[in-house]
Structure 1
């Protein structure tokens, strides 16, 4: 069914056939959200066709009643309140979700209802490969257990008692000893399930969930449990113990920590340990990690591990992860600011199969680079290694992805050595580092598809060298590179007899590459855009930052130059009503639109065109005249927004909060700044959302 719903011919399926499919016991979908989206698309398409033929809906909306609205994410259900065909069910769904969130994670089954509980059963069939529960705050261990029972099993009083007994141990403070008794419940085994997403399921007891996964999903390979701060290192260990085939784990936390790029962490363990007792949830619980050593050494099959944003992960956590995750190929430590360079280096030496590393905004520095550039201890008898001696059997030589943006601990010499060995790289992020021309010119790879050198001192000559030798480049971020605009001040590169101009660089890009994403600033102009034309016909995302200058003629031609744009972000550009209206009329597939600190004479007439595909809107310091009435117009024309940023809208008052919450109930992120009266009085909390004020 997932394949059928993604087909462009899905809207042509006859109603009777579709209804039979939805009611079929073997209906296989990843989640109720996917099913709802597909049915709404089908219904909207068929209603239009019926209206053109002067017919009625014939009760087609009844098909929506097949959706198990109690299992929808809250943000999704709230966002559908404005849908003409789904508003009533959306309201019912929100009410049901709120009722479920009032039941404690270990509450008795009778707290829900005494009757039929089929509306709480997650759709699982013998063909299910993926189970997506992300964002469902109301999912508890009890609901998960109910979903694993045979479909024809009625929940009688005896079984209700058994379920309540099986979750009674959750009342313990830490729940670490929780076990579902063997054979207590007649749970089914779904051998086709390979992926589970429980991100944001805050009421789901992790130990109990892992027990269920081990019994009912024997082929489980991927687990995503993002935004769950109580997912500890001990939890990870138990997951790989119970579900031995798991190879990918993602426990990202949605954080934007204050990161000081000038400070390196000398030792993280003691700092984290001292704070552990004051935290309700911690990943870096050193006492728990220490206890793992007594559980016995057990190597896992994990090849991909994502710890992004886990600022409370400390050296002791990583030390143990390095012991039982030696098969790691992909590692994401972005934002793990408590880790030391020495600890990261030791992890790299231990995990000799690594080919993808994401360490942005960490203490990744000279020790870690030395570990990458040194021959593997397994293959080399040398006990020490120094920069200057290349090793074809080093980890660096086999790296395919390296993201180390914001890592100031790596000096120019170590970066130069690192880039001299990474000839197999496909994705390279060096933004906000000490990168200079000599280091970039040392890069000998020819397989790059993504390059980020933002906010570095790179010149046009060095960047041109990389562009010419990497024709497969698809994504380029060179924002904040002032030397691209000042060729007379750039570092002399020995490989060139004369400096390159910006226009020559962009002409080379136009000849060599076919770009999908680009972010430029200094040196980007109308002539640069003309030179880039052949390369950006398929461009999907464009950002023009400080130092870039696209005149009105260039902005007017943008829709014809880049007809497939889905994201457009403009900083410090001169814009007008006619430019914005032209962009909205021509680029109907835009999903992200941002005007930040732009100059020019614009008014509310710029935003009178409806754009139902738009998901993200940022108006930063460009609409100081915006009033509550104007905000109402925005809610009508951009009805499907999930992210909103309004900066400097001083005329908005306290009534704006009601306009925002009722007009965009599905928002998951809000950024309001210098909206004086609104900012001082806002009290509304959007449950299930990431809200920033």
Structure 2
């Protein structure tokens, strides 16, 4: 460093190292570091972290022109009024690096701002009165509040509590507003960071009150605030103050926009929420809108909310696009090769309702999820998307029966940038050869015509479960979506093998992913798929039209596959060995004829395997024996030894041949396993469960079927697997006693969401179930089968304490429904699947109709006619597109008289046997009724 030049217009500013007071300063000048701010080389000190550390740990003198200090700093201008004004040497009690940043700003005009230093820099600016630097900090804040850089957002969130504190102490209103504004705009990113829990209450309150609060869903806001409360140490706070905080924060959460399953899981907080304001939070900064599960959202609410969307002050009045009303879809005829069939059909343009306010155009909004929003008509959704989301790239509308495939061609004009569309529906699969009586009544006929605008950017399309999807419609869709890469037509039973093949032939580049589970895919598709080697995902499970030769033809050229699902098909060794790919991450060969030898060969070629499903593969018992022999080789671990080096394995579903030896072969290296399912043919005991708990303590799901476990095994699971979210035990050889049930109550994993105890706890009492329901209030799925001592008290316990259930199955459980099932309909409003069979005669005849009206998300209902008070059930006779209920199963039984034809029960009545099942399905175009022999 150059020696400072002595002059009357120079100021010598002395700084002490941390921990040293001014009274201890007695060092000579040679022990002091001197920096001349007037020469450019002096700034080299500030670009080197090591040199900066030296500055903080040594006495430092900075030489600055007095005129420069007085020009920018009111602090040094004020020194003129004191005796220090004539002095050329001043001691400064400030962090030397912060002052250096200010001095650099004086000379260069640049201000280096890092989020972690904003608070102290602000204090330095206020202390020295550098107003221009404060303006620069405020300008940086304005730009930063709208940043998309996740790293910068994370750093600001960590620093924002100290910035908020400093700005409040110094009365910097602009900075105070920045803190609440930044947090409001970036709330979702901030809530996912651990630093969110350190936010002060006042800042969080200002954030949730901001009109710019931007959240993709009200449920995310609700969850974040609940987690913030749980992380606070409020032991010293008065109860009234705690409740005031809850009321002030949670009172801004709009209950009608929280999915029922989320709201009911935290039922105790419902009274704090806002039950009046139904407006959707839509701001100029919104990029993704998730309304899934919000059954109260309708078309008027969409338009009303977008009209009230909050925008930044600088954009108010500048967006003329918000005044434009979409004229709808122009009429046009199909441009496909099927003009002769569709030329007489025209698209009807959606009509705008006069009561809808004009919404604003939100350029940033690219993702919209309206799953389970059955109150939004298709035409209204099209108009709203066209007005509000011109840059929409992803539309998710699953479980919306009121929305059909005809939505896609209409959106081709309104949202030309669409890349992903998901219109999947929940449904069940019924094989044609199982049906012995059928009846179908057409409700309305749907044709698909296309507007003048093909979807050139659509790459992903999911139509799973769409029974109205025919060969003609699929052909027309793919002809106008030439960029399509991912297609899901699983459970689309109206599609034929030839129709699927002809449609796929229209795609010039071929598919990247094809999911066609439970369809009629056969030889035509096999020939087509055999010529494609770019597939990464292929799911053909339960496609019974496939032959082993056809599967072999498909696999021999597929080297890029990462996901391969061929369960429940004609797959055998000869077909599986044709596969030469080395990128597999997921493999399912359940219920096929593959042997251990061929399976081991594929596993050996798949170093990145993450998921494996071999349940029901009886031939892996002993690869040397014939097909009809089921012998157990002493070397049980040989097959699973191949998995030892698969460090990425996260999911394992096994059955035959999996025992203690297979477990021993795998456990040395498998630490990432999260999901374990052991089915028929496996042989696990309590000792095995102890080993599983010890080696795979991070398991999130364990499912055991036909195993030899009892109370001790359950206790091993509960004590060792504290991360468990899914516990399924069914049809085991041993039973759970009151001791095991007590352990389940007292040691229930905190995150348990799914509990299945089918034919495993036959001695469960009403009191046991009451205690269990009280400790499992957040369950989303609960299944009990064979608990013969339960009464209607237990059904009341379930309905009162397990309100968040989306799936409930109760079968052969004593007299649960002796007093009817109304309590379930009144309390468990989030139910999507409900199965009540053989639980006692008492279910109302109108139960199906009441369930349809009371449960907004219910799509699957299964009952037994034996339980009806009048031996029959009233069912809907018309199709209402807004109704979510699409499948009703009514099982019927027959009684055999006593004697050699059938046993007599203790009450003198003959035992009931299953006769058949009536399956009722409502789709967009028909009411379908059939009778099958088996119980679904």
1:571 aligns with 2:729: no
The DSSP-based 3-state class of the residue aligned with 1:233 is: coil
1:133 aligns with 2:291: yes
1:513 Cα deviation (Å)? 4.3
Match of 2:742 in 1: 605
Match of 1:20 in 2: 206
The DSSP-based 3-state class of the residue aligned with 1:249 is: strand
1:180 Cα deviation (Å)? 2.9
Q: CA 1:416–1:34 in structure 2 vs 1: closer, same or farther (change >3 Å)? A: same
Q: Distance in 2 between matches of 1:257 and 1:438?
A: 28
1:297 Cα deviation (Å)? 6.5
Q: CA 1:40–1:580 in structure 2 vs 1: closer, same or farther (change >3 Å)? A: same
Match of 1:522 in 2: 656
The 5 A counterparts of 1:79-94 are: 79-81=265-267, 83=268, 86-89=269-272, 93=275
1:149 aligns with 2:307: yes
Match of 1:533 in 2: 667
Q: TM-score scaled by structure 2?
A: 0.61
Match of 1:10 in 2: 196
1:479 Cα deviation (Å)? 0.5
Q: CA 1:356–1:463 in structure 2 vs 1: closer, same or farther (change >3 Å)? A: same
Q: Distance in 2 between matches of 1:195 and 1:555?
A: 44
Q: Distance in 1 between matches of 2:402 and 2:279?
A: 25
Does the CA-based 8 Å contact 1:361-1:407 persist in structure 2?
yes
The 5 A counterparts of 1:68-467 are: 68-81=254-267, 83=268, 86-89=269-272, 93=275, 119-151=277-309, 177-180=349-352, 185-260=357-432, 275-277=441-443, 285-286=445-446, 288-289=447-448, 292=449, 295-296=451-452, 298-351=454-507, 352-373=509-530, 394-395=531-532, 397-467=533-603
The 5 A counterparts of 1:467-546 are: 467-489=603-625, 502-546=636-680
The two structures, once aligned, show a CA RMSD in angstroms of 2.7
The DSSP-based 3-state class of the residue aligned with 1:488 is: coil
Match of 2:781 among 630, 643, 646: 643
Q: CA 1:455–1:32 in structure 2 vs 1: closer, same or farther (change >3 Å)? A: same
The DSSP-based 3-state class of the residue aligned with 2:504 is: helix
Q: TM-score scaled by structure 1?
A: 0.82
Q: CA 1:183–1:260 in structure 2 vs 1: closer, same or farther (change >3 Å)? A: closer
1:514 Cα deviation (Å)? 2.6
Match of 1:50 in 2: 234
1:542 Cα deviation (Å)? 0.4
Considering fraction of residues, name the structure with more strand: 2
Unmatched tracts of structure 2, length 5 or more: 1-186, 312-324, 329-346, 628-632, 836-936
1:185 Cα deviation (Å)? 4.0
Does the CA-based 8 Å contact 1:509-1:535 persist in structure 2?
no
1:262 Cα deviation (Å)? 8.3
Unmatched tracts of structure 1, length 5 or more: 97-118, 154-165, 170-174, 264-270, 280-284, 374-393, 492-498
Does the CA-based 8 Å contact 1:538-1:563 persist in structure 2?
no
Does the CA-based 8 Å contact 1:261-1:406 persist in structure 2?
no
Does the CA-based 8 Å contact 2:791-2:814 persist in structure 1?
yes
Does the CA-based 8 Å contact 2:283-2:309 persist in structure 1?
no
Structure 1 or 2, whichever has the larger Rg, is 2
The 5 A counterparts of 1:553-564 are: 553-564=687-698
Does the CA-based 8 Å contact 2:697-2:722 persist in structure 1?
no
1:41 Cα deviation (Å)? 1.2
1:322 Cα deviation (Å)? 2.1
Match of 1:660 in 2: 798
Does the CA-based 8 Å contact 1:652-1:675 persist in structure 2?
yes
**Number of residue-to-residue matches in the alignment:** 600
Q: CA 1:513–1:444 in structure 2 vs 1: closer, same or farther (change >3 Å)? A: farther
Match of 1:100 in 2: none
Does the CA-based 8 Å contact 1:69-1:89 persist in structure 2?
no
1:184 Cα deviation (Å)? 8.2
After superposing the two structures, state which structure 1 stretch, 623-632 or 444-453, moved more.
623-632
The DSSP-based 3-state class of the residue aligned with 1:148 is: helix
Q: Distance in 2 between matches of 1:237 and 1:530?
A: 56
